[in-house]
Each structure stands twice: as C-alpha cells, then as structure tokens.
Amino acid sequence: MSSIAKLLEEGMETSVVCTEPAAIGLAVSAAFDALRKRIPDLHLEDVEEIKVETDRDVYKNSLGVGVAYDHELKGAKHAAALGIFCDPRESLHLFQNLTSEKASGARKLAPKAEVIPNYGWEELHIEAKVMARNHGGIAHIIGGHSNISYIAVDGEVLFRQEAKDVAVSEFKSWDDLNLFIKEIEDLPPEAERKIREAIEVNYEAFIEAERCIGERGLGALFKGLIKQDSSAQDCINRAREMLSMAVEARMAGFNIKVMTCAGSGNMGLVATLPLKAVAERFGQDGEKLVRAVGLAQLIATYVSEYSGKLSALCGCSIKAGIGLTAGVAYYLLEENSTREQKVKTIGSAINNLAANITGMICDGAGLRCVLKATTATQAAMESALFALEGVAIPAGAGIVDQNPVLTLRNIGKVSEGMVETDRMLIKEILGAPDRQSM
C-alpha cells in the first residue's frame, strides 16, 4: 500500500457520538484502566477526582454536544465521567450501548470532573488524570482522537509512543492536482475496501438517524423541499436531507456509528453522504462513487494537514466541503474525460468553493453543525455544477490561486491567521478559564 493511501486510511475510523467528547472519555478510560490494573482492589466509588486538560479546539467541540441521548448526558464533564465506566479497548466506540446503571454513575461522578482548555497546545492533545485513594493515573492522546500516546501510574511510565506520522511531509509537498487524481484512480484494494466501508457505514448512519429523528429534525424540512423540486436542486436537497439527519443525530448523542474523515465524524459524513445522493440520482453506485469519495477524503485530508485537524475554521466547509466539491465534479465528469479536463474542472470547483465560504467559523460542535454542514454541501455541489458548465473564479487578489492546490494551502494560512480568533471564541464567548502551560 502506498504511504499516501495509508495516510488516507488512518484518517478514517469508526466513531460513536461526537468525536471530541468520545476522545475525552477514551483518555479518562485509559488512565483509570491503568490505575485499576496496578491496584486490583480499586473500586469505581474510590474515584476522588478527574482532571482533563485539552487543546482549545477539543474543548470547544466537547462543551455542548450530546454524549448519550437516551440518558440525557451532555458535554465535556459527562464525557469525562463516563470514561470511568467504559473500556478503553473500544476506542471511539466506548460510549456505545450504555446501560442505565453506567449513565447514572456518570451523572453522580460528573461534579468530581473538571475539563479545562490549554491555550498553549496547538495540536490535538488531551491529558486525563484520575485520582483514587492517593493514587493517580494519567493518559495522553496526541495527534489523533484515538492515538493514546502516554500512560503512567503514580509517576511510573507504563506506555509511551510518538504521535502517528505517515508520509505527511511527502503529502504536504504535493502541488499538482494530477497527483490526487492519479492516487484515487490507482487505489490499492485495502484502501478501496475502507472507502466502500465508509460509504456503507455513513449511509447506515443516515438510515438510523432518520429512524431516531423522524419528522422532528431539519432533515425532514429538506425532505419536504424534495417533493416540491426536481432537477439539480432535487439532488442537492436530497443530499442535505441525508446529511442533516445524520449530523443532527450525532450532535444529539444518538448511538450511531459513522466513519470519520481526517479524524472528524461530521467531515466523514460530508465527504460521503452527498456523493451517495448524487449516485442515487444518476444510478451509478459502483467504482466511480468509490473513486469520487476517495478524492473527497484525500482533498479534505490535504487541507487538514495545512489548516490543522481542528481550528477556528469550520472543517465541514473548508475541509470536507472542498473535498466534496472535488468529488462531485469528478463523479459527474464524462468517463472518457481526459486527465487535463479532469484537472481543469475539479480545480475550478475547488476554487469556486474556496472563494465562496472560506471563513465560516467553528464556534463549537452542536446543532449549529447541521446548518453549517448543509450550507457547505449546497455550496459544494453548486460549485461543482458551475465548474462543469465552465464557470471558474479567476485567480487574482484573494486566496484563489491559478493552481487549486495552492488555493488549498492558502486556506491553511487563513486558518493559521485565525489562532487569536479561536482563543477569543473560547475565552470571551464560551467563557472558558484562561489557563495555559506554554
């Protein structure tokens, strides 16, 4: 398998509920699990304190989302407390199928939990400390939501590993859209299977979300619009219906499994479900769909490497949305299109979208993600349709470059320039404590 295909695969993993609170629970679970193995007679009621420190964006995205809808558990403190009752071997699935007993225990334990942001950490980072009977367990997650990189008990290091690094420098050096297209048109079988799994898992997430939410959610509104429309708008509304159902259910805390993109569950949904809707409309749900989703995932991952896994910019729009517009343009191109035609059309779609919604902020995960994801989806699909008609935003003043890959890098520069915006959002608007270790 190529190193780039491996990088793509490692950004795709299944997750239940919003990824950030799940990662907080996983870190706490790993710390407590290590503590119990060293002190066999330790009991759940012995837990005295849970302290979790996270980078600012994990903190931001864990504050207001549902953790267990059926048990009315929500937010970072409940996620941290739930970690005590879960098995770290279940990774980002650890909140799946919670019992009433565990939920009740987490609710009682939540007042002993504290979750704070560390403004000095620029990459994804979670440190969880669990204190019980004068003993302490610590676990760190660094670089990826499920990447446990350090575990210690009472100062003794039990496990340590570096954050995952697979061909990132090679990938970030790409400056030609040809390379992206070549990669997805020559996918190794393992990567192709993973993409097919992503399409299936995320479509099942929509089906389950539709069952859970029914006529109560925003998806039902889009479903109504479909009945009124035909043509391209019909396809766009179908995509928004599917996506809004799935994202809303995740944010509410329903027990729904999704496949991530670049570590994000909502990005995984954006990169797959609208393309599934396009495939439904045109009746080609085979290899071309796999390649289109692969391109969407690859482009989104590339932007993520430049803008950061989490940032002040909305990942659904400036990462997955841009991947999606590339995937839609690729899917709708004629099979006999030349490589030159593919590069031109997909590049125009990328530039059209970048010129449109770059700047959409992330002010934390929650119901707002439904609106942002569906807005990004409509803009992404329209940008692709414009590109297929020969419409292209000209390069010049602004972030749009003649080379669309450099446009993607420019988005990363915008993200870097919004670090202070990110801090302001968390401190001033969300009211987080101003604690940092530089």
Cα torsion 372, 375, 379, 382: sign: positive
Look at residue 225 in the predicted model and tell me its pLDDT.
54
Cα torsion 264, 244, 246, 80: sign: positive
How is residue 432 written in tokens? 């987080």
Look at residue 81 in the predicted model and tell me its pLDDT.
97
Distance, in Å, from the CA atom of 31 to the CA atom of 252, rounded to the nearest integer, reads 27
What's the pTM? 0.86
Look at residue 436 in the predicted model and tell me its pLDDT.
43
How is residue 216 written in tokens? 């109560």
The DSSP letter of residue 366 is S
Distance, in Å, from the CA atom of 410 to the CA atom of 256, rounded to the nearest integer, reads 35
Look at residue 438 in the predicted model and tell me its pLDDT.
27
Query: How do beta strands 135-142 and 148-153 pair?
Result: antiparallel
Count of CB atoms situated within 10 Å of the CB of 185: 14
Domains annotated for the chain, with CATH where assigned, are: 17-160 (3.30.1330), 168-428 (1.10.4100)
Q: Which residues of 254-279 are buried (b: 16+ CB within 10 A; e: fewer)?
A: bbbbbbbbbbbbbbbbbbbbbbbbbb
Look at residue 85 in the predicted model and tell me its pLDDT.
95
User: Which residues, 6 or more positions from 428, have their beta carbon under 8 angstroms from its beta carbon?
Assistant: none
Q: Which helix (H) or strand (E) holds 146?
A: none
Q: What is the mean pLDDT of each run of 10 residues along the chain (438 residues)?
A: 78 92 97 92 92 94 89 94 96 92 95 94 95 96 93 95 69 93 92 94 93 72 58 83 94 93 94 96 87 96 91 92 98 94 97 93 90 95 92 86 96 90 79 51
The DSSP string of 307-364 is H-SS-SB-HIIIIIIHHHHHHHHHHHS-TT--HHHHHHHHHHHHHHHHHHHTT-B---
Count of CB atoms situated within 10 Å of the CB of 420: 9
Look at residue 227 in the predicted model and tell me its pLDDT.
58
Distance of CA 112 to the CA centre of its chain: 29
Residue 137 pairs in a beta bridge with 130, 153
How is residue 233 written in tokens? 């708008």
Residue 139 pairs in a beta bridge with 128, 151
**Packing angle between helix 273-282 and helix 231-252, nearest 10 degrees?**
150
